[in-house]
Each structure stands twice: as structure tokens, then as C-alpha cells.
């Protein structure tokens, strides 16, 4: 029994020591994390950005903590100072004639005194820390508020600059929320103190509520109502973000009912606050209760019930008439928020005068019609060019290059290293972090060409990259790329694996700029602790010259430097001047633009592609280029982080040729433009001209399901322009209909970058839409029979994306068709389907399909391969495979190859006869 108290003391000591150790570990972890981040930011030249963010977070944390802890502590101390002792209260209830004597006896019998001051101080510190931790994420809001710039346009209701809504209102809302939480916490601490001291005892007789508790409660409740008065004042501006199903923003009911009600609640809360502070002297417990019921009852009745009744019985019967000016506000400001107002509208006649001669006059467009889809091409790249199991192609990018053969649209993919694909017994720490450190090279192929076997023609291929008409690459190593990239340590005393070759592998040593020095014992200990990897400290392969490469994933790297930017989901690789770079589109976004419909993310209603980020795949350098200098958010960030952003004109010209309009932004804008191209309120209200994305059957071999057509990049000559250019486009169809009504294009080349054009078809013409063309293809007996035959022969037919190709004032449709063995993973481009007007054809190549489509006997020459040469190679390939089948005793395969060979030989013979006749003929 004697050991009981000692055991309890010992346990308390152990608990205190354990908590101290845990707190120390947390503090050490935070300090080491900050130190590692500082070293990394400094190594890439952005130490100023690091200190700006760290200072803002630290200052905000310290301010919020100091004010919160002080307010909570003060409230608790005041409650302790003026609360009556619980024993005296109990004594007064038991024996009022000798309360002091009985209270002393009770103090000795019931419990020793609680260390109130220390307990209140500890509670204030803990709660203050929790509040500060929750508020520190608002550092960006605080900085934007301090460094804000005006927009130069005012809202239509309160006539305040739009910058107030983008920068000031979010800060005021965050401050209001903090004050409400702080007021609540101070009240909770005071209530607990008064309850423990006996000033509040309502659960059983004798029920008590001391004068001190009433005074303190009146003061805190008055403070709460003062904050609520400010909150309702702010709520006036929040009316500009409402949505009643017709108007996004302030509607008729909001302006004529909600706004006056909010002013009434502001006045009522302010008067109630003053009345409660006066009650600190009167100390009536009924007055606070009455004021609470009055304020919140009025809020429920006038701010919730009355506007709903007004909307239903007054506005709804005359909705269009009353809401018209507010619908106009929604249209105008939504178009501005998404940059839809700059879309130029042009007519497109959709004529049927296309001929083979006009195709010849538009060779740059024809030569760049995309026949390779991303997924089949990625599967083909994986089978032909991954070379080793530990290499992987994670995505296929679409770009354009000025090559010897002209301005060509290409598809390319980076060959990245995937350490997880190493054999299990080879996944050692040394291999993962010291030897296998980088991917190597890219694969590039044109979008239109294919081999006789239906495989892509390679501009760049193999390891190290071999150029076959593509750009030369002198530094192919990818230390920074898209995949999951753990840290690596370079310049140790073990060579890095470079690429496989015979008879021995090639090895290299990193000579780039990136990396934090890690050779010393102190830094090795630091990184071992922070990365939770003791091997960094224990390994004998690390030297004084060793450096550690961190944040090697492209998006992680950019997001770490600029966490305030939203990144496009698809960074793309660029070969420029013999090196490899990644271009990452970045957006400035907000959900505080007034009268704008939320259209992406978590309620975002404003977006600009304000920044182009370039990351060197070898050196890891990160450069931020301004692509939209007029964006107010970016102008504010330029003031916050001086020196971070560079003008777009300073980007190397070779890289500037590869900037493109981002697909994510284009999709968001196209989605909104479906409705917001209607700028007349009456038309918008009735949804008379609502557009929709077309459907297609890509990937389906039975036509049983459809998917929404995605936007696609292409090289084409826009109507009325002199030359072809790289654009991003998407057709549009009417709502609930399949005929095409317009197509939207975004210009990507530097000369016209960022310009959006919508080409609108005449309303008195029927223009087949993509899904209608898909139906015509399905109904074509020759095509459907051939597809059915292939599917029955153990192969799988894969339908490619249907491409809408505007040429001059006409529309051409092209769709590739792939064939893949049921047990294989190598899709082959076997046929090309083309449609124009009422005709649909399927041929071996695009040139043959176009020739057949326009009833010409001689097909147009392929961009790099003459038809005769292509057929000759294809015939030779069939002949070689026939011999292989014969040697293997596969008679059915031998017969099939001969059957495929015959029409090619006949076509070659016909072509030769035609060629012999022409010179001496007409």
C-alpha cells in the first residue's frame, strides 16, 4: 500500500519524460526539415523564395499563437481571479451562518487546491498552438492581401475593384473565422474554470450562476456579437458567389431582400453587442438569453425563411423578367474569369468543294493528320523501345518540330528508369540510390507514317538515341522526369549505370549543376535523419564530392518551389539544342472571382495559364516564364517573390517554338463555352443554343459504347491564313443532337499563341458530326465485314480516334484502325478510314484512302514515302513472312501471306503500266 503514491509519482515522471522526448523529436524533425529545404532551395538558386515563404509562415504562426494564447490565458485568469471558491459556495448552501469555518473544513476533507494559474497557462499554450497550426496554411492569403494589385474593373453591385474580391475578401474571411474560433475557445476555457470553481452549477440544486460568471459571459458574448456583426457585413459581398440555379452571383432576391436583411442583422448584432457590454454592470442573466434568441431567431426568419418565400412566390413567376440584368452579370463576368471574352467568332461555310487538287494545296495539313493514338502507340513503344525491363514509357507527348522534311507533328516519349522493375535481388540500396540513377533518351515518331507491318516509323530510337530524320540529342540522360523518383547520390566512388551495351554496360558520372553536397559527416547525418535512411551515414561509397539529388519528379520539383501555382496534369518533354527539357504549364487560380460560375477543382471560378515552367532534364534547373503578364494574381506573386519570374521573351527561342496551349485549360474553357457563347440573357435563360462535346467510338470494336471526344493537337492551315500552324481543336455539336455546329481552336505557335477562335457553321446546313460519321462507318458493309472477319481470326480490332480535319471550307474525317493479336501487346496500324460528304472508304494508308475517297486512280504520295516504294516494301515483308511460315510448316499462314501478297503485286504492276503509258500519252 505504501508503494502506491510513489508508483503514481514515478508514472507521472515517466509520462512527462515521454512527452518531452516526443516533443523534442517533433521539434528536431521540423528543424531538420527546414534545414534540408533551405539547402535544397539554395542549391537551385531560389533561397529568396524559401525565406519569403518561411518568414510568412513563421510570422503568421507567431502572431496567431501569441494573440490566441494571450486571449485564452487572459480569459482563464480573469475567470480564476473573480470566481468564488467552490467550498465557500457549498458552505453557504450548507451553513450560511458559519460559511468560512465550514469552507475550511471542506477544503481539508475534499481535495488540495488546484494549481489554477499553471493549468490555465498550459491550456492557453496548447490551444493557442493548435489554433496557430490551423491558421499557418493561410500564409499565401496574407501575402496576397499585403502585396495585392488592382484589377481595374469594378463589380456591378457594390462597385468595388475586382481585386478586393481576389485579395482582400479571402483575408477578411480567414480573419473572421479565426476570431470566431478564438472567441469560442476563450469562452470554453472561462466556462470550464467557472464550472470547476462552482460559479456555474446548473445540473442539480442548488443551481448557481455567479455575478462574476454573468459579467464575464456578457463580455465574451458581446465580443462574439461584434464579430458576428462584421461577419454579416462581409456576407454582403458573399452574395456575389451564390447560385440559385439561374444566376451565379447576386440575384434579384439577393439584392432586394438578402442585402437589406444583412444590413439589419449587422445593426442588430452591433446593438446587442453594446447591450451585453452594458449588462456587465447590470449582471442580468435573462438579457443575454433574450438577445441570443432575438439575433439568431431574426437570422433564421429574415435571412433564411423570408428570402426563400420571396423567391418562390414573387420571383419565380416572373423569373426571366426580374433576373435578366443579373443573368447578364453572370455571363459577362464568367466570360472574363475564364478568358472566354477573347474568343473570336468566325463563320465556316462547310462547303462540299474539296478535291484532290485542293488536298495537294494543303499538303502541310494532310501530312500531319494524326493516325497514331496515344494508347496504341505507347503499347508499341513499350514492346519495341523499352529495351530493358527497368525502362518504362510513362506517357506519350504530342509536339511539333521543324525537321528536314518540313514542319511536322510528332509523338514522343521519354525512356524513364523505373527502379521497381529491377529484379528483386537487384533492388539493393546501392543500386537504387547510387548506380541506377537516370533514364535515357526519347523515342519520336511522326503522327501519320507507318511501316509495311503497321508499326510506327521512328525519327528517334534506341539507346543512346539514334536520329533518323529527328533532332540530334547530345545529352540524353534524364535525372529529372515524370515518374516516381526517389533521391539519388551522385559523384560517389561507384560508377553510375548509363545504358546497356555489349559486351559490357556503359557507365557515367554526373556532371550537372544539381545536387546538395552531402559528403561531410554532419550533412550525412542530417540527410540520414531527415530521409529516415541510416545508409546515407553508414555507406562507404559516399565521398566528400558526393551530392544528393532531391525532388526529381518534375511536378514535385515545381510544386515545391512554387506551391501557390496549380499545375497542368501533363508536362511534356522537348528536345532542343541537343538537350532534353520538360515544359510544365502552370495556372493561377482562384475561387473568389465575383459572379463567375465554378468550373473546376474545388469550386475554382478563375483561371489563367500565367506561367510556363522549364525544367532541364539533366541539370534540374527550374525557370518560370510569364505567359500572361496581365493576370492580376501573377502580378501580385511577382511583387511577393521578386526575381522568381522571367519574361517569356527571355525563354530560349528554340524552346519557345514548343510552347503549346494546355489541354486542361482548353477543356475547362470549352466546357464553359458550351453555354456561355450565348451572350443574350433571354437566349441563355432558355438554353436555346446549348452546345455539347461530340461522341465517338474510339477503342471499341463492336460499337456497343461511346465516349466523349477529347480535344486534339494538329497542324493545319486555318481558313484565310497563309500557312499551317500547330493548334488545339475540338468540334462541337448541339445539345441532344449529333450534327456538328462549330469547332473551337486554340493557336499554339508563338506568333499567335493563346488566341482562341470558334468557327460556327451555318444553321441552315446539316453537317455530319463525329458520331454520325461513326454510324456511317458501322453501316458500311465492306468495312463491317472486314472488321468481323478480323475479330473471328483471333485478332482484336481497335478503333482509333476519329479526327475532324477542316480543310479550306470543308470538313474531312479520318480514323485509324489497329489490329492486335488476342494474346499480343503490339498493336499494328492496318487501315485508315476516311469520310467526306456521303462517301466512306477504308484503305491501307491515308494517301490511298484519300485517293479512293475522291475517286482518283493514282493515290497521293505519302509525305516521305512514295506509294510504290511503300507497296514494294510491304510486298517484300509478306514474301519474307511467307517463307518463314513455309519453313515452320504453317501452310495456312503461308497461304494467307500469299493472298496478301497478290493484290500488292497487282497494284505494283498496274502502277508500272500507268507510268509507262504517261510519257508517250497525252
Assess if residue 166 is contained within a domain.
yes
Q: What is the pLDDT of residue 250?
A: 96
Identify the domain boundary among 620, 651, 666. Answer: 666
Supply 21's cell numbers.
522526448
In terms of DSSP H, where are the helices of 614-740?
Answer: 632-640, 653-656, 663-676, 681-686
Within 8 A by CB and 6+ apart from 555, the residues are: 482, 567, 571, 584
β-bridge mates for residue 712, sequence order: 729
Q: Is the pLDDT of residue 866 over 50?
A: no
Q: Is the pLDDT of residue 790 over 80?
A: yes
Assess if residue 433 is contained within a domain.
no
Q: Is the pLDDT of residue 791 over 70?
A: yes
Q: Is the pLDDT of residue 352 over 50?
A: yes
Assess if residue 23 is contained within a domain.
no
Within 8 A by CB and 6+ apart from 897, the residues are: 878, 879, 881, 882, 885
Supply 334's cell numbers.
464568367
The Cβ of residue 674 has, within 10 Å, a number of other Cβ atoms equal to 17
Assess if residue 329 is contained within a domain.
no
Alpha-carbon distances, residue 246 vs 94, 237, 303, 322, 669 (angstroms) = 67, 19, 20, 11, 20
Residue 553 and residue 482 in contact, taking contact as beta carbons nearer than 8 Å = yes
Q: What is the pLDDT of residues 4-52, one digit of tens each?
A: 556 656 666 776 777 777 777 777 778 999 999 999 999 999 999 999 9
Q: What is the pLDDT of residues 469-526, one digit of tens each?
A: 999 999 999 999 998 889 999 999 999 999 998 888 999 999 999 999 998 899 999 9
Domain of 298 in residue numbering reads as 65-319
Number of structural domains in the chain:
3
The residue with greater pLDDT, 851 or 920, is: 851
The residue with greater pLDDT, 589 or 875, is: 589
Mean pLDDT, residues 634-660 taken together: 96
Residue 917, SS3 per DSSP: helix
Identify the domain boundary among 666, 686, 705. Answer: 666
Q: Is the pLDDT of residue 857 over 60?
A: no
What whole-number distance in Å separates Cα of residue 140 and Cα of residue 138? 5
pLDDT bracket for residue 668 (50, 70, 90)? very high
Q: What is the pLDDT of residue 602?
A: 87
Q: Is the pLDDT of residue 110 over 50?
A: no
Q: Of 215, 205, 195, which Cα lies nearest the Cα of 78?
A: 215
Q: What is the pLDDT of residue 101?
A: 55
Q: Is the pLDDT of residue 918 over 50?
A: no
Assess if residue 443 is contained within a domain.
no
Within 8 A by CB and 6+ apart from 200, the residues are: 191, 194, 208, 209, 210, 213
pLDDT bracket for residue 720 (50, 70, 90)? confident
Mean pLDDT score across all residues of the chain: 88
Q: What is the pLDDT of residue 883?
A: 62
Q: Could you tell me what percent of the chain has a pLDDT over 90?
A: 69
Minimum mean pLDDT among 92-96, 334-338, 826-830: which range? Answer: 92-96
Output the CA torsion 268→269→274→279 (10° steps).
100
Identify the domain boundary among 666, 699, 716. Answer: 666
User: DSSP secondary structure string, 381-402?
Assistant: HHHHH--STTEEE---EEEEEE
pLDDT bracket for residue 452 (50, 70, 90)? confident
pTM: 0.86
The residue with greater pLDDT, 96 or 411, is: 411
Amino acid at each position: 500500500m505504501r508503494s502506491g503514491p510513489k508508483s503514481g509519482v514515478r508514472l507521472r515522471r515517466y509520462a512527462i519524460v515521454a512527452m518531452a522526448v516526443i516533443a523534442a523529436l517533433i521539434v528536431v524533425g521540423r528543424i531538420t526539415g527546414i534545414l534540408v529545404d533551405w539547402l535544397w532551395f539554395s542549391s537551385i538558386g531560389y533561397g529568396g523564395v524559401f525565406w519569403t515563404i518561411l518568414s510568412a509562415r513563421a510570422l503568421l504562426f507567431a502572431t496567431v499563437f501569441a494573440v490566441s494564447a494571450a486571449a485564452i490565458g487572459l480569459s482563464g485568469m480573469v475567470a480564476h481571479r473573480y470566481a468564488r471558491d467552490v467550498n465557500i459556495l457549498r458552505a453557504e448552501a450548507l451553513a450560511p451562518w458559519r460559511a468560512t469555518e465550514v469552507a475550511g473544513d471542506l477544503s481539508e476533507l475534499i481535495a488540495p487546491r488546484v494549481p489554477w494559474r499553471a493549468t490555465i497557462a498550459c491550456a492557453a499554450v496548447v490551444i493557442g498552438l493548435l489554433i496557430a497550426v490551423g491558421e499557418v496554411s493561410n500564409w499565401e492569403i496574407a501575402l496576397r492581401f499585403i502585396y495585392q494589385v488592382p484589377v481595374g474593373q469594378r463589380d456591378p453591385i457594390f462597385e468595388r475593384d475586382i481585386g478586393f474580391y481576389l485579395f482582400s475578401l479571402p483575408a477578411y474571411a480567414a480573419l473572421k473565422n479565426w476570431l470566431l474560433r478564438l472567441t469560442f475557445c476563450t469562452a470554453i476555457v472561462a466556462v470550464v474554470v467557472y464550472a470547476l470553481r462552482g460559479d456555474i452549477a446548473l445540473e442539480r440544486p442548488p443551481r448557481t450562476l455567479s455575478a462574476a460568471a454573468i459579467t464575464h459571459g456578457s463580455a465574451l458574448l458581446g465580443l462574439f456579437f461584434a464579430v458576428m456583426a462584421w461577419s454579416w457585413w462581409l456576407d454582403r459581398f458573399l452574395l456575389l458567389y451564390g447560385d440559385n440555379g439561374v444566376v451565379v452571383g447576386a440575384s434579384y432576391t439577393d439584392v432586394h431582400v438578402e442585402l437589406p436583411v444583412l444590413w439589419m442583422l449587422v445593426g442588430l448584432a452591433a446593438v446587442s453587442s453594446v447591450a451585453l457590454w452594458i449588462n456587465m454592470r447590470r449582471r442580468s442573466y435573462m438579457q443575454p438569453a433574450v438577445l441570443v434568441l432575438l439575433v439568431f431567431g431574426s437570422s433564421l426568419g429574415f435571412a433564411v425563411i423570408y428570402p426563400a418565400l420571396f423567391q418562390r412566390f414573387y420571383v419565380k413567376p416572373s423569373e426571366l423578367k426580374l433576373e435578366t440584368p443579373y443573368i447578364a452579370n453572370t455571363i459577362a463576368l464568367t466570360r472574363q474569369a475564364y478568358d472566354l471574352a477573347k474568343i473570336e467568332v468566325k463563320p465556316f461555310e462547310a462547303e462540299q468543294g474539296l478535291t484532290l487538287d485542293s488536298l495537294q494545296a494543303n499538303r502541310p495539313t494532310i501530312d500531319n493528320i494524326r493516325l497514331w493514338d496515344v494508347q496504341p502507340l505507347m503499347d508499341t513503344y513499350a514492346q519495341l523501345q523499352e529495351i530493358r525491363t527497368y525502362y518504362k514509357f510513362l506517357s506519350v507527348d504530342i509536339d511539333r518540330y521543324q525537321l528536314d522534311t518540313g514542319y511536322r507533328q510528332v509523338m514522343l516519349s521519354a525512356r524513364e528508369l523505373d527502379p521497381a522493375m529491377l529484379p528483386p535481388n537487384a533492388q539493393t540500396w546501392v543500386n537504387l540510390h547510387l548506380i541506377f540513377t537516370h533514364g535515357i533518351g526519347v523515342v519520336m515518331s511522326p503522327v501519320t507514317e507507318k511501316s509495311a507491318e503497321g508499326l510506327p516509323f521512328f525519327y528517334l530510337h534506341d539507346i543512346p538515341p539514334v536520329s533518323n530524320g529527328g533532332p540530334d540529342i547530345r545529352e540524353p540522360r534524364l535525372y529529372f522526369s515524370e515518374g516516381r523518383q526517389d533521391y539519388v547520390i551522385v559523384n560517389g566512388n561507384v560508377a553510375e549505370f548509363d545504358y546497356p551495351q555489349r559486351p559490357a554496360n556503359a557507365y557515367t558520372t554526373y556532371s550537372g549543376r544539381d545536387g546538395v553536397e552531402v559528403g561531410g559527416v554532419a550533412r550525412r547525418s542530417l540527410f540520414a535523419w531527415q530521409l529516415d535512411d541510416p545508409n546515407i551515414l553508414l555507406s562507404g561509397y559516399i565521398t566528400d564530392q558526393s551530392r544528393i539529388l532531391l525532388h526529381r519528379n518534375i511536378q514535385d520539383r515545381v510544386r515545391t518551389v512554387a506551391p501557390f501555382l496549380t499545375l497542368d496534369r501533363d508536362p511534356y518533354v522537348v528536345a532542343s539544342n541537343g538537350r532534353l527539357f520538360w515544359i510544365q504549364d502552370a495556372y493561377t487560380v482562384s475561387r473568389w472571382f465575383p459572379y463567375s460560375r465554378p468550373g473546376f477543382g474545388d469550386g475554382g471560378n478563375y483561371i489563367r495559364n500565367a506561367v510556363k515552367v522549364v525544367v532541364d532534364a539533366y541539370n534540374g534547373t527550374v525557370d518560370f516564364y510569364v505567359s500572361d503578364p496581365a493576370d492580376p494574381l501573377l502580378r501580385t506573386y511577382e511583387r511577393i517573390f521578386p526575381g522568381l519570374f522571367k519574361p517569356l521573351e527571355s525563354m530560349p527561342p528554340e524552346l519557345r517554338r514548343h510552347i503549346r496551349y494546355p489541354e486542361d485549360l482548353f477543356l475547362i474553357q470549352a466546357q464553359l463555352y458550351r453555354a456561355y457563347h450565348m451572350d443574350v440573357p433571354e437566349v441563355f435563360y432558355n438554353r436555346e443554343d446549348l452546345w455539347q462535346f461530340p461522341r465517338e467510338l474510339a477503342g471499341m470494336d463492336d460499337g456497343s459504347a461511346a465516349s466523349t471526344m477529347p480535344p486534339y493537337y494538329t497542324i493545319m492551315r486555318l481558313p484565310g491564313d497563309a500557312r499551317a500552324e500547330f493548334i488545339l481543336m475540338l468540334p462541337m455539336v448541339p445539345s441532344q443532337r449529333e450534327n456538328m455546329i462549330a469547332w473551337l481552336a486554340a493557336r499554339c505557335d508563338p506568333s499567335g499563341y493563346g488566341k482562341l477562335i470558334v468557327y460556327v457553321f451555318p444553321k441552315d446546313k446539316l453537317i455530319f458530326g463525329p458520331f454520325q460519321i461513326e454510324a456511317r462507318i458501322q453501316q458500311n458493309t465492306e468495312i463491317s465485314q472486314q472488321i468481323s472477319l478480323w475479330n473471328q481470326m483471333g485478332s482484336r480490332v481497335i478503333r482509333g480516334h476519329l479526327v475532324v480535319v477542316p480543310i479550306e471550307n470543308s470538313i474531312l474525317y479520318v480514323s485509324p484502325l489497329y489490329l492486335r493479336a488476342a494474346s499480343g501487346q503490339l498493336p499494328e496500324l492496318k487501315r485508315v478510314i476516311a469520310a467526306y460528304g456521303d462517301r466512306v472508304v477504308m484503305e491501307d494508308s491515308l494517301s490511298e484512302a484519300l485517293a479512293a475517297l475522291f475517286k482518283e486512280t493514282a493515290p497521293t504520295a505519302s509525305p516521305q514515302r512514295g506509294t510504290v516504294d511503300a507497296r514494294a516494301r510491304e510486298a517484300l515483308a509478306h514474301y519474307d513472312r511467307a517463307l518463314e511460315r513455309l519453313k515452320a510448316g504453317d501452310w495456312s499462314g503461308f497461304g494467307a501471306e500469299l493472298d496478301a501478297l497478290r493484290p500488292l503485286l497487282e497494284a505494283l504492276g498496274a502502277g508500272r503500266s500507268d507510268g509507262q503509258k504517261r510519257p508517250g500519252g497525252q
